[in-house]
Structure 1
């Protein structure tokens, strides 16, 4: 037991180093927009802002349902339910035509042989629908994930594994409802990502974790900005509206949704995709996940070293204290 605890605590500094804010002197300010008033919304994880409405979903333990919320009041104005039983829904992404992609992609134990995405309508009024669903399979074994992205130019889906070194995976250009649909590795991205979204130009995307947000060009995936986010109870969701407004949400009943200003106006963008937008689940071809022009993103090259040093010292102190407390007494 002593050895096990020591190993766990020795790994803690790496988490501290990765998640400690270090990209900005101060967090970007957050402006409260509304609070969720629905007591059923207790663990807002995914977030989408479309058509003047906000869509959210509870994470692990909830049913197959999404909530449509009026940001003017924070009230739920519609709930969509669909067939089947949820395992661990964690993410949303815009699908066009008044619909969202729902990612049942959580896997804390890394034990699922496949994960599931569904395409469901949102909007005012309650409804029950039969949603098209697709099984996704990782090429290198199970991963926990909380981020689902949909390229606004092509409709192609992407999943980001929630790990210390994040990894972005691309779904097939055309999804097979009979599956399985094998994902392919694209590149390394922000660690421990809890949500993400494309910017309206389709040439940049933003990922967030519990304390930071990072902006990348698309499809090059060059990290061009990283900022500290406002403190939240357990900040997980991020959405970008059609006008570029960025919203972030947190778990917790009655939690606030904040508007934040990311430094994106003068940031470089990627090459414009050539494919036209589509809302079809059998999306037209997107840039290949194996394009040679993708430069790997190495997190240790982009972070300052002081968080790792602080985390290391803290970890060593904790281990020493713990081992002393566990020492047999005469």
Structure 2
């Protein structure tokens, strides 16, 4: 794991930095909500808030289990286990029915570093206090454009529909799952539009009209359902940030987790300039360039113009040009290190 963290720290971070043209914002300040106390939580790679508790999973290589954490103490108060072990779990997202959250989460077995899996899957897993063994229902997902690596799963808080964001050094894509999943047949995802580079997790905000996609260094805010990139902000430094979640009672902030032992859960406020775009006081008022980005398009300077076909952004991110040669080899190194660790 230490080798992997060193590689990602040296290589993946430059990809993420180069992926967003710089803004004038300093890194956002994070407030520690609590800290994982369980020595078994070593690679937190997803986060959800269920019944007032934090739910997380370890990255690939872990058996089938999720951890339920008390936000007041950081102690694990429940572990839900299942068999068989997943291939590469990367995210969790709340299960929503009839517009209301349940006491379950979707566990996303969607990692695919080598893009070799013909299909991936999500499992519907109950969240419970205590040590619980379950037999979750699994749903097979298939990409319409071939295998993809992904680490982001999110749930529409109004409809419960699932969305996947693929991960790539030159950009990913948003995909929508069918409105109703079929447990007995493959469920083909629908390709929507372009997504930021190196997306490590995503979550809908409580209003259901916006969502956040995070990477290792920054996070983008998108409108929904238009999926317009409103802009990004720089995240606090983390060893390997791969989790983002939201508190349903805190619409102006996101929660962040990172891989590593005894890592904190950080609360980070969405910058005011982006909140102003999300919910302007007067939608007919003239655009303020200081809040809306220099070009007045509704994005900050780092916004990407999506490719209608759903591929990577049509611009080549600043910094990527100089990293293409070494970056490709570096990305392969990350993949090889991760793949070597799998059982």
Paired with 1:115 and 1:234, the residues of 2 have a C-alpha distance of: 24
Paired with 2:12 and 2:198, the residues of 1 have a C-alpha distance of: 14
The corresponding residue for 1:235 is 241
Paired with 1:106 and 1:167, the residues of 2 have a C-alpha distance of: 15
More moved, 236-245 vs 56-65: 236-245
Cα separation, partners in 2 of 1:125 and 1:17, compared to 1, 3 Å: closer
Cα separation, partners in 2 of 1:173 and 1:69, compared to 1, 3 Å: same
Paired with 1:84 and 1:262, the residues of 2 have a C-alpha distance of: 39
Aligned pair partner of 1:122 in 123, 127, 134: 127
Tell me, yes or no, if structure 1 residue 200 matches structure 2 residue 206.
yes
Paired with 2:198 and 2:214, the residues of 1 have a C-alpha distance of: 8
Aligned pair partner of 1:160 in 165, 185, 204: 165
Paired with 1:155 and 1:59, the residues of 2 have a C-alpha distance of: 24
Q: How many residues align?
A: 281
Q: Is the 2:49–2:55 Cα contact (8 Å) retained in structure 1?
A: yes
The Cα offsets for residues 112-170 of structure 1, whole Å up to 9 and x where unpaired, read as 11101001111322211121110001111111100001111111111111112110111
The corresponding residue for 2:191 is 185
What does 1:27-38 correspond to in 2, within 5 Å? 27-38=27-38
**1:179 shift after superposition:** 1.5
Cα separation, partners in 2 of 1:208 and 1:24, compared to 1, 3 Å: farther
The corresponding residue for 1:265 is 275
Cα separation, partners in 2 of 1:229 and 1:300, compared to 1, 3 Å: farther
Paired with 1:21 and 1:36, the residues of 2 have a C-alpha distance of: 33
The corresponding residue for 1:286 is none
The corresponding residue for 1:45 is 45
User: Is the radius of gyration larger for structure 1 or structure 2?
Assistant: 1
Cα separation, partners in 2 of 1:17 and 1:31, compared to 1, 3 Å: closer
Which stretches in structure 1 are left out of the alignment for 5+ residues? 1-10, 271-293, 317-330
Paired with 1:233 and 1:12, the residues of 2 have a C-alpha distance of: 11
Aligned pair partner of 1:133 in 138, 141, 149: 138
What does 1:64-75 correspond to in 2, within 5 Å? 64-75=64-75
Which stretches in structure 2 are left out of the alignment for 5+ residues? 1-10, 96-100, 281-305, 328-343
Cα separation, partners in 2 of 1:236 and 1:14, compared to 1, 3 Å: closer
Paired with 2:141 and 2:240, the residues of 1 have a C-alpha distance of: 27
The corresponding residue for 1:90 is 90
TM-score, normalised with respect to structure 2: 0.75
Paired with 1:12 and 1:194, the residues of 2 have a C-alpha distance of: 11
The corresponding residue for 1:279 is none
Q: Is the 1:145–1:162 Cα contact (8 Å) retained in structure 2?
A: yes
> Aligned-residue CA RMSD in angstroms?
2.8
Paired with 1:269 and 1:218, the residues of 2 have a C-alpha distance of: 13
Paired with 2:324 and 2:149, the residues of 1 have a C-alpha distance of: 29
TM-score, normalised with respect to structure 1: 0.78
Cα separation, partners in 2 of 1:314 and 1:82, compared to 1, 3 Å: closer
